[in-house]
Amino acid sequence: MDFEFSEEQEQLRETVRRFLEERAPIETVRSLLDDPRGTTDELWKGTVQLGLPGLLIPEAFGGGGGGMLEMGVVLEEMGRHLHPGPYLSSALSAVALLRAAGTDDARERWFPALADGSLVATVALFEAGQRYEWRTPTLRSVDAGERCLLSGEKSFVPDLAAADVCFVTAATDDGTGIFGVECNAAGVETLPLPSIDGTRHHGTLRLDAAEARRVDAGGATDGIATALDFIHVGTVADGVGAATRAFELALEYARQREQFGTTIGSFQAVQHLLTDMLTELELGRAAAYYALWAADADPDDRRRTSILAKAFACQAFPRIAEDAIQIFGGVGYTWEYDIHLYYKRLLTLRHTFGGVTESLDELASIILD
């Protein structure tokens, strides 16, 4: 394993960072907090111009043919800048699901439009009352001649308001299946789901005999589990970026804020807090980078490393943001400072495709199997 990013990967990082600083600074992020789409046409077109939506899609379908290390570089920068758009849902979650469980016909149908950014997609795996149990959906598919009809409800659907198509899991006669549903089709209703984090937008998807297209070839459980490995690692990479910036903001404030005639960074208690934050940050970064590498290079270890990285991140990264708030004191919660936005972003990491409990339960099942 090479512990250094390649020159091309570092160039990608610099390109994405420069794009976000110029086109999506924190002022733009703040202006989109109440926008259910979380993006603008201009901002999304900017990611398309950089080839980011098709990063994981094979070149044969118009994509970039990249791997999870490249995706991790992009997502880390997006987390660092609190990018609120549907990139993670469309470029990672939907693509990973099609790669892992989709048929050749499904890939030929969806990949080109996902790669060129003309189509925005998301995934709907969870249902209200089931927390993060995705293996036994109550939403069911009914065959109607050549069509499939879906009725039921999915909850905690990321970036639903921005999506053109949603890949939905449903019970079928041959196990759990995956279906593509056009978000503007008849029988489809999308509702916003309130959240403390305005940089993460979720919704509820209600289906009433909505027409859908089957994506998998039958029995998609293993494929969904594989896709979740990639999604978990991606969310952790996003968290690395957000936690890094939260630490940097706390460090900058500690160097500038004066109390009793000296900067608070000279106080031992603050120094110890910053040291603990940095230790957890670097441990989480190491776990994330290894999991990104394993996702491409070591399929046999992919699930274990992705779950370990997610479990650690769900504990450590929100704690880093909490400690950053402590360093800022009461002003950290006020609207004038950005640190509270990072705090909220990292709090929702605990509830993005499962948290610590779900991750450890999954890890236990792997170890004891």
pLDDT for 219-265, tens place per residue?
899 999 999 999 999 999 999 999 999 999 999 999 999 898 899 99
Q: Is the pLDDT of residue 145 over 80?
A: no
Q: What is the largest CA-CA distance in the chain?
A: 79
Query: Cα separation of 12 and 193, whole Å?
Result: 34
**8 Å CB contact between 89 and 352:** no
Query: Cα separation of 188 and 329, whole Å?
Result: 46
Report residue 324 as tokens: 């950053």
Report residue 336 as tokens: 């004038």
Angle at 249 between CA 322 and CA 317, to 5 degrees: 35
* Mean pLDDT of all residues belonging to the chain: 94
Query: Cα separation of 168 and 153, whole Å?
Result: 10
Kindly give the interhelix angle for 221-256 and 68-80, rounded to the nearest 10 degrees: 40
Give the global pTM: 0.94
Q: Mind listing the domains of the chain with CATH numbers?
A: 7-115 (1.10.540.10), 121-218 (2.40.110.10), 222-368 (1.20.140.10)
pLDDT for 266-302, tens place per residue?
999 999 999 999 999 999 999 999 999 999 999 889 9
pLDDT-based confidence at 146, cuts 50/70/90?
A: low
Q: Is the pLDDT of residue 125 over 80?
A: yes
Query: What confidence score (pLDDT) does residue 247 get?
Result: 98
Query: What confidence score (pLDDT) does residue 130 get?
Result: 74
Q: Compute the average pLDDT of residues 2-13.
A: 90
pLDDT for 34-74, tens place per residue?
998 999 999 999 999 999 999 999 999 999 999 999 999 99
The total number of residues shown for the chain amounts to: 369
Look at residues 75, 73, 166, 82 and name the one whose alpha carbon lies nearest to residue 126.
166
Write the CA distances from 213 to 7, 167, 182, integer angstroms: 41, 9, 9
